[in-house]
Structure 1
Amino acid sequence: MGLLTPAARVNGRRRYTRDHVIHVMTIIRAKAGGMSLEQIREVLNVTGQAERRALLQRHHAELERRLEEISASKRLIEHLMECDADDFTQCPAYRRMVESAAGLQNLHEDTCVI
């Protein structure tokens, strides 16, 4: 992928520096943050600060969107862990949470959803 350059050899062994470690950790954190190897390469190779900032802002917006989805899922799971309903899909609080997430809160009960 061209993300890493081999370290120089000294007496036949590669010698890695702190810069190598920083570079590898940058790749690991970016990957853990959901960036593809192509996106990571693009960020590492971009020449201008404005262009790098624009790339990172797009990724940041995607992370924010994913965090919202994760938070909503977490709230549903937390409710279900405490819910006493035999059929949680019929629990009024659960239904409100799901309907809100699906954008159905203003529909009437007899409205067909396609």
Structure 2
Amino acid sequence: MSIGDIAARFGLATHVLRHWEAMGLLAPARIGGDRRRYGTEDLYRVAAILRAKEAGFGLDDVREMITASDPAERRAVLVRQRAELARRIAEAQVSLELIDCALDCEHEDLAGCPHFQAILAERISPAPPPHVRV
């Protein structure tokens, strides 16, 4: 498949694929001089890159994940990335609960709703102790 075929298949601009190639994320075969030819493995690699980006990973993180050749190194990278993703999912879940609470709230002033306040309580740092002057 040509670069145009792959780009169209994933809804990407061709310059995105060229950038990913320059970063070492893709390595399509070359034919007839400098024409790129993408195979089935490249399809899966593009899909993996897109899925990782959808999960919030930067391209450097993606490159580290997919280019690790040693299984132990790859596992270490994946364990670290999994922990980061789990953290972000937990944060998103709390945000979703806050939105659901707000949607169900009948109070005129949302900030005065005890249930809403309870959800937000963990984000409020305790007040610093008053400064004592001598």
Count of matched residue pairs: 106
Q: Where does structure 2 lack aligned partners over 5 or more consecutive residues?
A: 1-22, 129-134
Runs of 4+ in structure 1 over 3 Å off: 10-15
| Identity %, equivalent residues | 37
- 1:87 match: 109
Say if 2:92 is the partner of 1:70: yes
Taking structure 1 as the reference length, what is the TM-score of the superposition? 0.80
Taking structure 2 as the reference length, what is the TM-score of the superposition? 0.69
| Partners of 2:41 and 2:56 in 1: CA distance | 23
State the Cα RMSD in Å: 2.2
**1:26-75 alpha-carbon deviations (Å, 9 max, x no partner):** 11111111221111111222121111111111111111111111111111
| Partners of 2:35 and 2:72 in 1: CA distance | 39
| Partners of 1:54 and 1:103 in 2: CA distance | 35
Distance 1:42 1:113, change over 3 A: same
Q: Where does structure 1 lack aligned partners over 5 or more consecutive residues?
A: 105-111
| Partners of 2:36 and 2:81 in 1: CA distance | 34
